[in-house]
Amino acid sequence: MSHTQRFLVTAVPSRRDGLGSNGMQNGDNNVRETESTVPILEYLREPNKYGDGIPKESSPFINSTDIDKEIMYEGKNLALFEEEMDRNPMVSSLLNRLANYTNLTQGVREHEEAENNEEPRKKEIKAPQMGTFIGVYLPCLQNILGVILFLRLTWIVGAAGIFGSFWIVFICCACTLLTAISMSAIATNGVVPAGGSYYMISRSLGPEFGGAVGLCFYLGTTFAGAMYILGTIEILLTYIVPSAAIFKAEDPSQETQAMLNNMRVYGTCTITLMATVVFVGVKYVNKLALVFLACVILSILAIYAGVIKTAFSPPDFPLCMLGNRTLAWQAFDVCAKVSTTGNQTVTTQLWQLFCDSPYLNATCDEYFTLNNVTTVQGIPGIASRVIIDNIWSSYGLQGEILEKRGMLSVPATESATNTGLPYVFSDIATYFTMLVGIYFPSVTGIMAGSNRSGDLKDAQRSIPTGTLLAIITTSFIYLSSIILFGACIEGVLLRDKFGESVNGNLVIGTLAWPSPWVIVIGSFFSTCGAGLQSLTGAPRLMQAIARDGIVPFLRVFGHGKANGEPTWALLLTAGICEIGILIASLDSVAPILSMFFLMCYMFVNLACALQTLLKTPNWRPRFTYYHWTLSFLGMSLCLALMFICSWYYALVAMVIAGCIYKYIEYRGAEKEWGDGIRGLSLNAARYALLRLEDGPPHTKNWRPQLLILLNLDPEQNVKHPRLLSLTTQLKAGKGLTIVGSVLEGTFLERHTDVQNAEQNIKTLMGLEKTKGFCHVVVSSNRRDGVSHLIQSSGLGGMKHNTVLVAWPELWRQTDGPTGWKNFVDMVRETTAAHQALLVTKNIDSFPTNQERFSGGTIDIWWIVHDGGLLMLLPFLLSQHKVWKKCKMRIFTVAQIDDNSIQMKKDLQLFLYQLRLDAEVEVVEMLDNDISAFTYERTLVMEQRSQMLKQMQLSKNEREREIQSITDESRGTTLRRNSARAALEFQDRNPDVPNEEAQLIHDRNAAGHSSGTDRLAVPPEGVHMTWTKEKITAEKNKNKESLSPEGVRDIFNMKPEWGNLNQSNVRRMHTAVKLNEVVVNRSQDARLVLLNMPGPPKNRQGDENYMEFLEVLTEGLNRVLMVRGGGSEVITIYS
């Protein structure tokens, strides 16, 4: 019946269409009562539902618009918090949302409602009402008790004996009990949505483990369906309708193969039928679940009733024995060699099976002739002493005849073949570990309750109670059944797997009361129902995994019918199940699914132990009867059982899980579920950081831990992405890498820009395959931001020791973001912090990670020793495939007093001890005079510095001044490069006549001393033309050239040179001469590394320092200037 829900909202004068506190009171008086009234708070949460025309979001959380805030909080007590209500809702709203939270299983109920279209309106979702008994206990009972109990438990008791079987059951039940304790702790640590065990494992151990174990659990459930179907077909063809077999063996030796073929045909038909039933409607499977459960319970009660009955009236199931050998009582009617009809003795059908004719004088089998035929009661009853005979094991080989221990027989003297004779043979070899693998599936199913967590009234109470009670109940049933079977049934009958000695009856059925058919029919429907349940649950598990998106190629299986039915997952499940059907042997399929279930249980225990040991704040399970030692014991027991059952199956299962894990790690979606593996990583990192020495590491352990300082454009994009390429080539994914940048401003204003910058940097790091961390800071100015990064990046002993930065190409623009002042201060701060500094010049010409140098050299100019970093860096670069084919060349500079030959020998020995393969070359630099070019370059540098200090120019005038000086400097450099080109041309063309060196003076040179004239007319500088002979003569000048007269001659060329700072002149001289030598030797090198001199102690010369570095590296393509951190980073010792 539909309800009309409405109320009247009166207008408030102060709000045109709002509701004040008084308005609500007045509105209540005008509400016309209907069949049901609407609470005003519910109306305020969802006004669209009741049609007031105000567009609002249908959500329990408050909208963030200003109008809504004024409407919602006028006259309320929470006005202080109203501006944050869009992020932090009221507690009442949150509690209301949680109270209305429904968590239905991805299963039967919503699919039933979607399929039931008879009612015009959608059904209202009801709150879960299932209790512990119906929701957890009975489903677990139904899933645990099944095919193994009815078809294989008696055979296991006969082969392993009561003692061995007891241990098999005890170990398996202990494993599931410990797993259930761990599962209860996880299941009660918050809400477990649909997905059950997969959800618990994935959210506890992360997407990689969750996906791997989830798929293993899916495969286990699927193969369990195949096992149940094979059990159904075995009951049908062996005990119900044996005549329905399609393949029949003419030779007794082919009976096993014929049976397997029958299993394949009927199993394929059954899986097709069951899949169709599941596809048509899951509700039919759910409605039949109680019927299947009733069959299981009735069958178990019939067994216990039969055991009680044997105490005073054992059933009559005689066994026919020839000597001590068991005969298959199917091909003959009377258990005797001859029978008396009247006064005539005639042979029986048994005689004809062992003899070549029906006559008494026929030739018979020797063993048949020597031994008598007797009958033994198959079920002597619980009051007999048969339990003593069944205590110990009776393992046998494949094809072995079942013999009764302690029974007398006369062995045959000749080794006659037994093929074709009506003996009961052992179809497979039996041993303890194999029986464990076959039995373990009978204790699976403990997660049936957790899979239904959405249907439970109180899942956190019902799951532990119901699951543990079900395990205790089934463990009691299994353990008591072992003892009762061994106390009531004859040993040879227990080892008779298919009941051939009792005319093809089910062995456990012979014990049941009132009829064996109770067990046969009950077990048939039980196994059939279990198969349907597996085909219902496995596709939904696959659908949950596919919808999580952690395994990309499985996403297609997340789709299905309109009502959510997992159609594609059902087809996949049926296909995998068919593989188990084609195996056709119940005893071969059982160990396979044992592996997958054991792996799943092992990781449930691991998840609980991990969460307990990590003591994460969110780990607060309501189930308190757990301990990490129990979880660890359960995990160890699961792992041991995997290898006990089948070591090769265990390895295959682990390889499958490992491949899935690595695939998800490599290609899977990144999920952050707050899992235990992440917590374990955090704890391991914390432990390692605490143990890591907070200080410089030993020289042998030193590696560059890089802090890369990036410049960003106004759109927060990286200006020089090749810095990250160089980082990848230098690090190869090893060591610490921190990529930092600085934004100017305040964090409150630019926090969005910080997020965008970090996202852009992380994207670029991914493209360049740079593994590391990103850190963007906001500071009032760039200098302070860089200083903060240098000081505070890293944590504890895991801090950077090297700073990588690009050379500021526009350093002459002092107002720019990459001004020279910031750069020089950064150099000083890295020195003060004892950190190495790498400065790349022309970074945009450096190779990308995709480029490959087919040859060339990496030239190292080792001028001063600063810890060996200069030699370590090219070795690290040569490990990357970009630089792998480049050869290393090391140049060192010899002064006039040095022995260059001995220096070369010593350097070669040093490199040999360092295990570095490089060519060595010693370059001699003579102590010659200072050239006119050096004086002129120094003059230009000092005049530029002096003008910028003395003149107070406007911004535009300052930029024009900078541009003019830059143009002059470039002109001077161009003229110098032209002179060098002339020399090279002269070397290549010796026939061209030489020109004498000339010094062309600038007539307007005096204008350099005047700042105003300088702005109007830029000076032309000094032009120098050098010949090869002039260079040779310059090198061969003796020290007399440095006499005061010689210096005065140079100063006469230009009087301003006499006023220059001689320290700057010497520095410029060094830069010019070194540059000439480096360019001459390494102009064609792939990369040039050289020592970077430090800035002057006097800050007045900072700009001159930049000019020195500019001169030092002119004419080189790729340059990496290296400044050590003050400690040795390379050693000759092992």
Examine the pLDDT at 992 and tell me if it is beyond 70: no
CA nearest to 284, candidates 532, 534, 567, 544: 532
Examine the pLDDT at 453 and tell me if it is beyond 80: no
* Exposed/middle/buried for residue 510 (C-beta within 10 Å: 0-12, 13-18, 19+): buried
Tokens 């018979």 correspond to: 364
Q: Report the Cα–Cα distance between both ends of the chain, in Å, rounded.
A: 88
> Is the dihedral angle over the CA atoms 233, 234, 240, 242 positive or is it negative?
positive
Query: Under a CB-based contact definition with an 8 Å cutoff, are residues 474 and 145 in contact?
Result: yes
Query: Under a CB-based contact definition with an 8 Å cutoff, are residues 786 and 837 in contact?
Result: no
Examine the pLDDT at 28 and tell me if it is beyond 50: no
Q: Rounded distance, CA 299 to CA 522, Å?
A: 6
Q: Rounded distance, CA 200 to CA 217, Å?
A: 12
Mean pLDDT, residues 1077-1094 taken together: 89
- CB contact set of 1050 (below 8 Å; sequence gap of 6+): 929, 930, 932, 935, 1057
Examine the pLDDT at 1129 and tell me if it is beyond 90: no
pLDDT for the residue numbered 811:
77
Mean pLDDT, residues 179-186 taken together: 91
Q: Which two tokens stand for residue 627?
A: 């301990």
Hey, what amino acid is at 791? Q
- Where does the pLDDT of residue 920 fall: very low under 50, low under 70, confident under 90, or very high at 90 and above? confident
Question: Tens digits of per-residue pLDDT, 496-550?
Answer: 999 989 988 899 999 998 888 999 999 998 899 888 888 888 888 888 888 888 8
> Is the dihedral angle over the CA atoms 530, 531, 536, 539 positive or is it negative?
positive
Tokens 């044997």 correspond to: 310
pLDDT for the residue numbered 840:
93
- Where does the pLDDT of residue 213 fall: very low under 50, low under 70, confident under 90, or very high at 90 and above? confident
1034, 1038, 1039, 1041 alpha-carbon torsion, rounded to 10°: -50
DSSP strand pairing (1087-1091 vs 1119-1123):
parallel
Chain center to CA of 87: 31
Question: Tens digits of per-residue pLDDT, 628-665?
Answer: 999 999 999 999 999 998 899 999 989 988 888 888 88
Mean pLDDT, residues 215-244 taken together: 91
SS3 sequence of 172-185: HHHHHHHHHHHHHH
- Where does the pLDDT of residue 984 fall: very low under 50, low under 70, confident under 90, or very high at 90 and above? very low
SS3 content of the chain, % helix, strand, coil (to 5): 55, 10, 35
User: Could you give phi then psi for residue 409, rounded to 5 degrees?
Assistant: -155, 155
The per-residue pLDDT of the chain, averaged, comes to 77
Identify the residue with better confidence: 264 or 619. Answer: 264
Q: In what order do the strands lie in the sheet with 706-710?
A: 773-779, 737-744, 706-710, 802-806, 836-841, 1119-1123, 1087-1091, 857-862, 887-894, 919-924
Question: Following DSSP, what letter does each residue of 84-112 receive, concatenated?
Answer: GTTTS--HHHHHHHHHT-----SSHHHHH
Q: Rounded distance, CA 166 to CA 478, Å?
A: 9
pLDDT for the residue numbered 658:
87
Give pTM, 2 decimals.
0.69
Question: Tens digits of per-residue pLDDT, 564-610?
Answer: 778 899 999 999 999 999 998 888 999 998 999 999 899 889 889 98
3-class secondary structure, 954: coil
- Where does the pLDDT of residue 872 fall: very low under 50, low under 70, confident under 90, or very high at 90 and above? confident
Query: Under a CB-based contact definition with an 8 Å cutoff, are residues 198 and 655 in contact?
Result: no
Q: Rounded distance, CA 240 to CA 506, Å?
A: 10
Q: Rounded distance, CA 707 to CA 612, Å?
A: 37
Question: Tens digits of per-residue pLDDT, 331-378?
Answer: 788 899 888 887 788 888 889 888 988 888 888 888 898 899 999 999
Query: Under a CB-based contact definition with an 8 Å cutoff, are residues 27 and 7 in contact?
Result: yes
pLDDT-wise least confident of 73-77, 648-652, 862-866, 1025-1029: 1025-1029
pLDDT-wise least confident of 572-581, 793-802, 1048-1057, 1082-1091: 1048-1057
H helical segments located in 105-254: 108-115, 132, 138-144, 147-151, 153-187, 196-235
Identify the residue with better confidence: 117 or 447. Answer: 447
Q: Rounded distance, CA 411 to CA 417, Å?
A: 14
CA distances from 1083 to 840, 973, 1080, 1086 (A): 16, 16, 6, 9
Q: Rounded distance, CA 366 to CA 413, Å?
A: 8
Rg of the chain over Cα atoms, rounded to whole angstroms, equals: 45
Q: Rounded distance, CA 249 to CA 242, Å?
A: 13
Examine the pLDDT at 107 and tell me if it is beyond 60: no
Highest mean pLDDT: which of 50-54, 107-111, 189-193, 463-467? 463-467
Examine the pLDDT at 706 and tell me if it is beyond 50: yes
Q: Rounded distance, CA 620 to CA 606, Å?
A: 17
pLDDT for the residue numbered 942:
54
CA nearest to 931, candidates 839, 1020, 808, 1031: 1031
pLDDT for the residue numbered 115:
46
Angle between helices 567-583 and 586-614 (to 10 degrees): 130
Of how many residues is the chain composed? 1134
pLDDT for the residue numbered 597:
92
Q: What percent of the chain has pLDDT over 90?
A: 28
pLDDT for the residue numbered 892:
86
Element (H, E) at 696: none
Question: Tens digits of per-residue pLDDT, 728-767?
Answer: 998 754 778 999 999 999 999 999 999 999 999 999 998 9
* Exposed/middle/buried for residue 871 (C-beta within 10 Å: 0-12, 13-18, 19+): buried
Neighbouring C-alpha atoms within 13 Å toward the C-beta of 174: 16
Q: What percent of the chain has pLDDT over 70?
A: 72
DSSP strand pairing (1023-1025 vs 998-1000):
antiparallel
pLDDT for the residue numbered 460:
80
Beta strands in 881-960 (DSSP E): 887-894, 919-924
Element (H, E) at 82: none
pLDDT for the residue numbered 769:
87
CA nearest to 707, candidates 789, 807, 825, 829: 789
Neighbouring C-alpha atoms within 13 Å toward the C-beta of 720: 26
Q: How many CB atoms lie within 10 A of CB 373?
A: 19
pLDDT for the residue numbered 1061:
56
Examine the pLDDT at 967 and tell me if it is beyond 70: no
Q: How many CB atoms lie within 10 A of CB 1084?
A: 9
